[in-house]
């Protein structure tokens, strides 16, 4: 009996420590959360989480640090998070390309978008912009189609990487219009737009959030947007549907994901505080200023969106006959 009473306080202490470690309010208190961004600075997958982080830091009462791990169309970043400890301290800032296009495009990936991640929160959506070099003698999307058809294989089309959402959006557009172009892949949007401005490449499909500063400065031409309707931040820019191809539509989504196995209490806490940050007017205005729209919701809703987009882009890749290079 003496031994039992002697051991009981130790047992209670162990249970108390275990309960403390699993508490959603203390599981990673005081330690920074590393957000792995799949693309380099200047891309939508970088500037959107950086716009959200200050408000999220305040809501969470801890730091969210952006860690850029570009390469392999976002697969490097995704693999890092898929293999990370499921403790809420490492998150992936997922994009359409990483979560919905890569699995349709590549037969082998170091991660599975459904099996390896626990969706936390979708945070934004963004259209893509069809950009043209200022040296290209065209003004409209119809001009581009006519100009490119008369010069098959002569024009270079840039993207921020093979297999990215913007790359596939361009491939889908060109397959639907019967245009033959040469794809030039860059490691990120900033490098590609820099070459577009001086005419080293002729056309680029880019996220509106990456493109809008250059469009506003007049350094590149914008021919159309790829969404279902015109964007409030750029009401004078027509959609591809309006301008030339009624059946065409493409847009992207962004959100945070944790490694699978992360406790539901931690997922819930992250979701609540991230959504709280997104409701702030300053965050909404900041995202809108570069063409992104706030999108809130539950982890379950984000999971459903990922499944829907994965099915959509799988069909699109097959229909267009697009294969990874």
Q: Cα–Cα distance between 52 and 60 in angstroms, integer? A: 12
Torsional sign, CA 209, 297, 99, 86: positive
The two structure tokens encoding residue 295: 């999108």
Q: What is residue 3's predicted lDDT score, i.e. its pLDDT?
A: 42
Q: What is residue 157's predicted lDDT score, i.e. its pLDDT?
A: 97
Q: Cα–Cα distance between 182 and 260 in angstroms, integer? A: 39
What separation in angstroms does the CA of 264 have from each of 17, 24, 58, 260, 269?
A: 19, 9, 22, 10, 9
Alpha helices for 137-255 (secondary structure H)? 141-149, 165-177, 189-197, 208-216, 240-243
Q: What is residue 16's predicted lDDT score, i.e. its pLDDT?
A: 41
Q: What is residue 160's predicted lDDT score, i.e. its pLDDT?
A: 84
pTM, rounded to two decimals = 0.76
Q: What is residue 156's predicted lDDT score, i.e. its pLDDT?
A: 97
Q: Cα–Cα distance between 167 and 156 in angstroms, integer? A: 12
Domains identified in the chain and CATH numbers: 32-125+251-320 (3.40.190.150), 127-243 (3.40.190.10)
Tens of each residue's pLDDT in the chain, 325 residues:
444 444 444 444 444 444 434 444 444 567 899 999 998 888 888 999 999 999 999 999 899 999 999 988 899 999 999 999 999 999 999 999 899 999 988 889 999 999 999 999 999 998 899 999 999 999 999 999 999 999 999 999 999 877 778 888 898 899 899 999 999 999 888 899 999 999 999 999 998 877 888 888 899 999 999 998 888 878 899 999 999 999 998 988 999 999 999 999 999 999 999 999 999 999 999 998 877 889 999 999 999 999 999 998 888 788 667 766 5
């Amino acid at each position: 009996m003496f031994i039992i009473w002697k051991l009981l306080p130790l047992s209670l202490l162990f249970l108390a420590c275990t309960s403390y470690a699993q508490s959603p309010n203390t599981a990673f208190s005081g330690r920074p959360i590393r957000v792995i961004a799949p693309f380099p600075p200047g891309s939508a997958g970088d500037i959107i989480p950086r716009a959200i982080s200050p408000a999220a830091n305040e809501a969470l009462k801890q730091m969210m640090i952006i860690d850029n791990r570009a390469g392999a169309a976002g697969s490097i970043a995704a693999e890092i998070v898929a293999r990370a400890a499921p403790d809420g301290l490492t998150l992936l800032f997922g994009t359409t390309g990483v979560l919905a296009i890569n699995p349709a495009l590549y037969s082998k990936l170091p991660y599975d978008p459904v099996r390896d991640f626990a969706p936390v929160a979708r945070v934004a959506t963004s259209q893509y912009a069809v950009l043209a070099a200022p040296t290209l003698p065209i003004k409209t999307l119809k001009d581009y189609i006519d100009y490119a058809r008369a010069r098959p294989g002569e024009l270079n089309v840039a993207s921020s990487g093979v297999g990215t959402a913007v790359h596939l959006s361009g491939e889908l557009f060109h397959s639907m219009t019967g245009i033959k172009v040469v794809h030039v892949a860059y490691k990120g949007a900033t490098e590609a737009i820099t070459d577009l401005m001086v005419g080293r490449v002729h056309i680029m499909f880019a996220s509106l959030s990456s493109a809008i500063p250059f469009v506003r400065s007049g350094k590149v031409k914008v021919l159309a947007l790829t969404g279902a309707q015109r964007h409030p931040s750029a009401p004078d820019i027509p959609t591809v549907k309006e301008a030339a191809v009624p059946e065409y539509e493409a847009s992207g989504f962004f959100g945070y994901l944790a490694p699978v196995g992360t406790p539901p209490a931690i997922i819930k806490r992250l979701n609540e505080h991230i959504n709280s940050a997104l409701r702030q007017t300053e965050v909404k205005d900041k995202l809108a200023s570069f063409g992104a729209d706030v999108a809130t919701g539950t982890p379950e809703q984000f999971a459903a969106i990922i499944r829907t987009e994965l099915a959509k882009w799988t069909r699109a890749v097959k229909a267009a006959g697009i294969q990874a290079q």
